[in-house]
Amino acid sequence: MSEVTMADAGAVLIVRDTGPRTARPAAASLALAGVTALVCAVGVVSLAHGAGLWRGLATGWAVLLAPAVLTVVATVLVLERRWPAEPRPMAARGPLHDGLFFLVHVVAVVPFMTLLSAAFAHLLLVWAPWAARSWTHHVPTWLLVGATFVLMDGANWLAHRVDHGWSALWRFHALHHSQEEVSVLTSFRAHPLSHLPGFLLAAVPPFVLFGGRGVAPALITVYVCLGTIPHANVDWSYGWAGRLLVSPAYHRLHHAVDGPAGSNLGVVLTVWDVLSGRARWPTAGARRAPTGLAGRPVPVEQGAGAGWRPGVLVAQLAEPFVARPR
């Protein structure tokens, strides 16, 4: 198994092998699951006493799985077949398996995120009622949209850095990095519990700046679309725009097995990597770096004899709860 440590104040990521799994449950993972369950319970109660539980969940699907999101995913899947960065057979295990994760995302993760959002809004109203006031009512909408987009991306960058820097969270985030055949569907290859810190942090700017104003859901939909494309199996670097936006070529370096530790953490914007000295730019014509995790600390569908079956997905979801030996 692999363990993540902080080498210095610069949060350099070091992954080292720590031996085989044991049957002992992982206390930190169980604690995170418990906290998440409590937060979701608050979300259920909040929605039930508000617009209604099912109406609230339907709104979540409408925002996070809007037609625009599905169109982007479908279009990029076609483009991956036409101009792949890494040619693969139609039935490649990685994309097929990540298709299962997409189904999990639709059925379980989107409702989970919706409950987190409802719980966060409720707790913020209780603990910081000033945050819901219409103090931005006279601010131009275009300025609010821009500020929210940038701050939301900064929050996601911070959460991503913590995912790589804190071993308790890396256990869940490692599943995302275990993909050896990255595609646009890898955007959905994530443990449900890995969304807790990032989603809560990224939800702050829209809530504080927009409150109940209707532009926030559309903004989040656009952000989801832009954050999905960088996992595509294409060689796009976006040209000059790639210095501002995270491109597939840029993000592939983040997923590289032997890539620079802790680099290219940006979700949509590269500015946070640039400011923190973590940006590594793709080089035209360079060898495409293989992706995944060295030593395969997380079960993968490409493993010998693993095949493509739901049992691998179950093992991947269960892995963070199995403790490493001390």
Residue bearing the bigger pLDDT, 303 or 189: 189
Residue ranges per structural domain of the chain: 49-318
- pLDDT band of 323, cuts 50, 70, 90: low
Residue 207: its pLDDT value, please? 77
Contact 114, 57 (CB under 8 A): yes
**Any residues with CB less than 8 A from the CB of 187 and at least 6 apart, and which?**
73, 227, 228, 231
- Bridge partners, residue 2, by sequence: 17
Query: How much is the average pLDDT of 150-157?
Result: 96
- pLDDT of residue 234 exceeding 60, the answer is yes
Query: Measured between alpha carbons, how far is 222 from 67 in angstroms, rounded to an integer?
Result: 11
Q: What is the pTM of this model?
A: 0.86
Query: Measured between alpha carbons, how far is 55 from 39 in angstroms, rounded to an integer?
Result: 19
pLDDT in tens, 54-104: 999 998 999 899 999 999 999 999 999 999 999 999 889 999 999 999 999
Type of residue found at 215: V
Query: How much is the average pLDDT of 104-108?
Result: 94
Residue bearing the bigger pLDDT, 144 or 305: 144
Least confident segment among 34-38, 62-66, 322-326: 322-326
- pLDDT of residue 151 exceeding 50, the answer is yes
Residue 304: its pLDDT value, please? 59
- Nearest-Å Rg of the Cα atoms of the chain is 20
Least confident segment among 17-31, 143-157, 292-306: 17-31
DSSP string, 71-82: HHHHHHHHHHHH
Query: How much is the average pLDDT of 313-320?
Result: 92
Return the number of other C-beta atoms located less than 10 Å from residue 314's C-beta.
Answer: 11
Residue 287: its pLDDT value, please? 78
Query: Measured between alpha carbons, how far is 289 from 255 in angstroms, rounded to an integer?
Result: 9
Query: Measured between alpha carbons, how far is 84 from 195 in angstroms, rounded to an integer?
Result: 29
DSSP string, 256-294: BTTSPTT----SSBSHHHHHTT------TTPPPPPBS-T
DSSP reduced 3-state for 232: coil
Residue 321: its pLDDT value, please? 92
Residue 183: its pLDDT value, please? 97
Please list, residue by residue across 269-302, b when 16 or more beta carbons sit within 10 angstroms of its beta carbon and e when fewer do: bbbbbeebebbeebeeeeeeebbbbeeebbbbbb
Query: How much is the average pLDDT of 26-48?
Result: 91
Residue 254: its pLDDT value, please? 96
**In the chain, % of residues over pLDDT 70:** 87
- pLDDT band of 247, cuts 50, 70, 90: very high
Query: How much is the average pLDDT of 275-292?
Result: 89
